[in-house]
Amino acid sequence: MIYRHCRLPVSISSLCRDRRLFSTRLRAPATSHVYDIHPEVREALRAKRPVVALESTIISHGMPYPQNLDTALAVERIVREEGCVPATIAVLDGRIKVGLSKDDLEKLARTGLKARKTSRRDLALVVSQGVVGATTVSGTMLIAHQAGIKVFVTGGIGGVHRGGEDSMDVSADLTELGRTPVAVICAGAKSILDIERTLEFLETQGVTVVSYGDSDEFPAFYTPKSGYRSIAHLKTPDACASLIKANNDIQLQSGMVIAVPIPSEDAPKDAWRIEKAVLDAVSEANTKGIKGKDITPFLLDRVKQITQGESLKSNIALVKNNARIGSRIAASFAAQCNGAIINSSESSAAASRPMIIGGTVLDVSARFDDGPECNGMPSLGTSHPGTCKQSMGGVGRNMAEACYRTGGDPYFVSAVGDDVAGDGLIQEMAGAGMDVSGIKRIVGHQTATYNAFLKSDGDMLVAVADMRMHAEIDGEEVSTIIKRNLPPFVSIDGNLSRRCTQRILETCAENNIPVLFEPTSEIKAFRLFNLDHNLLKASIRYATPNEGELSAMAWGYQSANDPCNGLPNQEDDAARLRRGRGLMWGQNNLQSNITVVGKVIPTIIVKRGREGVLIARDGSISATLAPTQIYNDCISVTGAGDSMVGTLVTGLSRHYSLKSGEPAVEDLRRFAGAGMRAAEMSLMTDRAVAKDLGEWVFKL
């Protein structure tokens, strides 16, 4: 999926209200049209979440295909696992990209050595010619700084080449470090360089150089010890983050090097072989007259050949290790920056954000054309003409979008796979401005997908629902997020696993956070009552079922509390639910079901389609709302209920942010009325949530 070209904020320094935390030199891309900031990166910067810059020369020139692509994807996964957003930087077709899609990474990896190595000197030329440019440490630092990214992870920095005292061959990385305030996390300088002179040059440029770990020994890429020393060593990510923050507080316009030694288990077994290979390769380069930008890839390739691939394995291992350490530093730095503004006016706004936890789904519909070959029903075993559509879906996701569009600004917790569908869903949400930091990518899994096959008149023939991803939303992780954010209001959908739901409810009960439960289906509404009823009473204050789901909830309560209504233990939930259809549904008694469910959940807001909405308090009907207008020719009913509930969450979270105690019935009428208007808008669009939905629904 192609994401939108987007400009950086006019004042990137406003990403952190304490301007000392960011350099005052952020100006160029604020009005530049050549920058494409990936929506996920842009949203992370806006929300002051940790972002890690990654260079692209290591992809094009550092490794052969396909190892380069595999390594790039693995490094981005590691960054995400550590709670950060990766921002691989490159120039593609004359556009400066901050954050690459998988297709972009594939293109860069296949281009390989044909990509133009791009430092500060080359940047304008590469952009003007519209070619592919792989940014070096120098080029990546420059672009990262302009984008407001303070931490950059790479393999190793360039330096003074051997014999540089005569050739004056000094990498632009070193001068960039002297004038660009970005922290570079690396494995030191490559051993093909003159490390002693490299460190001397960095000192002259005023660059802070520290080693990570228990020793101040400066690493030499493949080996943890070069024989030379940094000015200090820092043992923890927090200490490194404090150093970066101090550099910004002082407003130094120079960068720093945090040198991370390669883990001993990943270092070549015989380091002397690497050093001998380097010396032999340098001698060969001199003999062949190889100089300038061509020398580094030549030397690395020769070292790989001489060591029979051992150096490449070490290269990949150290890059991954740097990514893990660098991401932890970035996360700590973001936390320290955000801690510095915790007493600002933004803290109250952050505390008012509701949390929505639920499923994210790619909805796919295939509708057969109406033709003589179908005769009303498509034939099996062959293909038919028709139309296919993809859209964003998932009850939790739809609720989160509706909440966002009506001013709720929710923190949405969900999970998607590490696949194209997951990329597309995150890009679409981030492109709309939603906070996607709570969406976890699960490596090796597919994004939840709902694939419906429709007849030409729109009626469903059959559908395939692959919802296994929902089980990957981990209850302990979500509990930690709730404790960290302490939202005023939490909403969950019925797609979560029993264990995850239970852990969320326990955490909310412990912290006195009201919970809204959106059932999503009759079987999931029924299963809620498999949990301890005292826990449900202590946590869930609202439920938003339709009439069928309300009946299922009532039967769930009855069958759990009255053995006479239950079935033998070997019967599964589906069988128990089928038995209940002849009882609770057969009664056709809305009040009776409300009375039963009201024993556990005090406020029930029943979605009744054309009949409107019913509000019940403590087992009794308190209010009813009729639709403002009836739509006989609606475009799609998908998402109408979710739009209503997401809007309701906006109203409820605002109440709990500003007031103590439960909202009055009149408040609930107002919130539900706004939700009905959101649902009506959804009916008239093929999207689950109408793009035109806004805060105005609360003002009518």
Question: Which of these, 53, 56, 59, 205, lies nearest to 144 by C-alpha position?
Answer: 53
The answer to whether residues 197 and 269 touch, using CB atoms and an 8 Å cutoff, is: no
Question: Could you tell me which residues are beta bridge partners of residue 120?
Answer: none
Sorted by sequence, the CB contacts under 8 Å of residue 107 that are 6+ apart come out as 92, 132
Sort residue 672 into left (φ over 0), alpha (ψ -120 to 50) or beta: alpha
Q: How far apart are CA 387 and CA 383, in angstroms?
A: 12
Give the position of tokens 């409810």.
Answer: 505
The answer to whether residues 482 and 513 touch, using CB atoms and an 8 Å cutoff, is: yes
Q: How far apart are CA 169 and CA 219, in angstroms?
A: 21
The reply to whether 55 belongs to the active site is yes
Instruction: Label residues 160-174 b or e (16+ Cβ within 10 Å = b).
Output: bbbebeeeebbbbbb
In the three-class reduction of DSSP (H, G, I as helix; E, B as strand; rest coil), residue 228 is classed as coil
The answer to whether residues 460 and 454 touch, using CB atoms and an 8 Å cutoff, is: yes
The reply to whether 304 belongs to the active site is no
Q: How far are the Cα atoms of 64, 146, 516, 660, 672 from residue 667, in angstroms, in the given order?
A: 63, 46, 16, 14, 9
Question: Could you tell me which residues are beta bridge partners of residue 51?
Answer: 85
Is the CA virtual torsion 74, 79, 81, 82 positive or negative? positive
Sorted by sequence, the CB contacts under 8 Å of residue 301 that are 6+ apart come out as none
Catalytic residue among 40, 43, 55, 217: 55
Where in 560-697 does DSSP place strands (E)? 603-607, 613-617, 620-625
In the three-class reduction of DSSP (H, G, I as helix; E, B as strand; rest coil), residue 625 is classed as strand
Give the position of tokens 């008012």.
Answer: 352
Quote the tokens at residue 156. 């190793």
The continuous run of DSSP H or E covering 364 comes out as strand 361-368
Quote the tokens at residue 697. 């629904």
Question: Could you tell me which residues are beta bridge partners of residue 40?
Answer: none
Catalytic residue among 117, 150, 190, 440: 190
The answer to whether residues 357 and 491 touch, using CB atoms and an 8 Å cutoff, is: yes
Q: How far apart are CA 390 and CA 556, in angstroms?
A: 35
Ramachandran angles phi, psi of 497, nearest 5°: -65, 160
The answer to whether residues 465 and 441 touch, using CB atoms and an 8 Å cutoff, is: no
Positions marked catalytic: 55, 190
